[in-house]
Structure 1
Amino acid sequence: MRRLFSNIEFLVSTSSLIVLVSVFAAAYSNQWHWLARSGSILTIAGLLLTFRPLVRMGLAELLRSQSETDLGGLVDTAEDIEKKRQLKMDGTASKWGVGMAIAGTIVWAYGDLVGGLPC
């Protein structure tokens, strides 16, 4: 479950697809509250991405990794390379997550008002 909820592509694509389907469903049924509800899913996905290190490692492992001191070596090991890759992915996920959380909050708050806009 951790692996799934820390997967950047899965969270971005799934939550975006849900919002897109909600837009079409709301436009078809003229019930725009469905669009607003989909904003909550986008917000949750954004928060999961923002807190990706915690989701990926769990609290105990995250705290342990923060307290370690790595003295390095002459050549990076496979473990070091993977840690650097994950750190870079955590940064990317956090950027996407903040944007998604903001967008999701706006959709969640005002999505039901879209149907009342003049065309």
Structure 2
Amino acid sequence: MKLLIGIALVGALVGCSTYQAHSNVPTPYARTNASQVQILYSPPQRAYTSIGIVSATRYKPGWTDPSVSDAIPQLQAAGAEIGADAVIVRSDRSNNDRHVVVEGEAIKFTSR
């Protein structure tokens, strides 16, 4: 019984998250490293191509609501899945149930 309570408690503390990636190009780019995907809050000054839309949903148990920064790793993973160099955050919303949903535009830089 104590083991079951311990497992349930660990599951509640860890929380959960999901992400989705949709590419709008016929031949997707090669997957990139998620830790290298930049998160931007406005369009960059350098040239880029939009390659898809990504979203991340993050659940955060506890006393505080999750923020956009809590969903950043999932947003980076979603962008990396379709080969993005960066993700421009376009919207975020809280569902008032300890979830935050962040949506962004996955981009590939066209000049280095």
The normalised TM-score by structure 1 is 0.23
Q: Which has the higher helix share?
A: 1
**Structure of larger gyration radius:** 1
Q: Which has the higher strand share?
A: 2
